[in-house]
Amino acid sequence: MAYNPLSIASLNSGSNGNCYYVGNDEDAILVDAGLSCRETEKRMSRLGLSMDKVRAIFISHEHTDHIKGLSVLSKKFNLPVYISLGTLKGCKFELRPDLIRSLPSHEAIIVGNLSIKGFPKIHDASEPYSFMVSYGEVNIGIFTDLGAVCEQLTHYFKQCHAAFLETNYDEDLLSKSAYPYFLKQRISGGRGHLSNKQALELFTTHKPSFMSHLLLSHLSKDNNCPELVASLFKEHALETEIIVASRYVETAVYTISEPVAVHSF
């Protein structure tokens, strides 16, 4: 069976709001809803993406930059919300009960013709999840807000044709920053965020040969530099296109397809 490719985009990525789009010609989902409903619609429209194709919202955790627009967006478009029980309890607002869906670990959830697997991640939140979205043989990973690289993350990263991967901070910039000590420890202490170095090690050690795109995500405004981290990854990227997901504007829409097998006769 032939499958159409997947389209992916970051609508915003950073501590001021996170929202990621994955879809094909018929169905799409959003991962996180950290922009206002109005801003989400505006950025989708600029990219030529239709909210009419969005079938559900998947929530990674309860921090404000991931759920700020969730209640309004879900209600306006009648979108089911897949969310862990711990994350739901951590939300400071109520969702329509009929739109709440459970989020099992490592089990495929079918939304339209997309398959989504959520799995636990290491982060200082109640019950946080990462996601892999699949259509046919094409897999897209959404891996942000990570305190550390674990075996589960590595397992799914190896399967991805494209991924959003957190590169939150440069270690030198963080150590020299004006952030108070407790905040530096929160970021780098193993349950906060991934450094450029940690993410690069995951990429260079476990990147599959078929990974066509990597979107560097959730960059710190104060403790990272887009040019710095892009240069770092491009040195090791080979055929993988490196994109920095901005904290100010949406990225372009990228088309991800399964590589055509080359047969020798």
pLDDT tens per residue across span 221-255 = 999 999 999 999 999 999 999 999 999 999 999 99
For residue 136, CA distances in Å to 2, 45, 216, 258 come to 8, 27, 25, 9
In a domain, 164, yes or no: yes
212 pLDDT exceeds 50? yes
How many CB atoms sit inside 10 A of residue 197's CB? 13
In a domain, 264, yes or no: no
Q: Which of 200-204, 218-222, 255-259 has the lowest mean pLDDT?
A: 255-259
pLDDT confidence of residue 4:
72
Distance CA 14, CA 249 (A): 10
186: domain CATH number is 3.60.15.10
In a domain, 265, yes or no: no
List the domain range (segments joined by +) for residue 45: 6-255
264 pLDDT exceeds 70? no
In a domain, 261, yes or no: no
pLDDT confidence of residue 3:
61
103 pLDDT exceeds 80? yes
pLDDT confidence of residue 25:
95
β-strands 162-166, 138-143: how paired?
A: parallel
Dump strand ranges (E) for the chain.
Answer: 6-12, 19-23, 28-31, 54-58, 81-82, 100-101, 108-111, 114-120, 129-135, 138-143, 162-166, 213-217, 241-244, 254-256
In a domain, 260, yes or no: no
Q: How many domains does the chain have?
A: 1
Mean residue pLDDT of the chain comes to 95
| 126-145 confidence digits (pLDDT tens) | 999 999 999 999 999 999 99
**Nearest CA to 105 among 139, 80, 129, 133?**
129
Distance CA 34, CA 15 (A): 9
Q: Region 3-11: what's the mean pLDDT?
A: 90
In a domain, 188, yes or no: yes
How many CB atoms sit inside 10 A of residue 125's CB? 20
Name residues whose C-beta falls within 8 Å of residue 257's C-beta, 6 or more positions apart in sequence.
5, 6, 138, 161, 212
pLDDT confidence of residue 165:
98
pLDDT confidence of residue 2:
53
Q: Region 153-162: what's the mean pLDDT?
A: 98
Distance CA 221, CA 211 (A): 27
pLDDT confidence of residue 37:
98
In a domain, 30, yes or no: yes
In a domain, 137, yes or no: yes
265 pLDDT exceeds 90? no
pLDDT confidence of residue 259:
72
62 pLDDT exceeds 90? yes
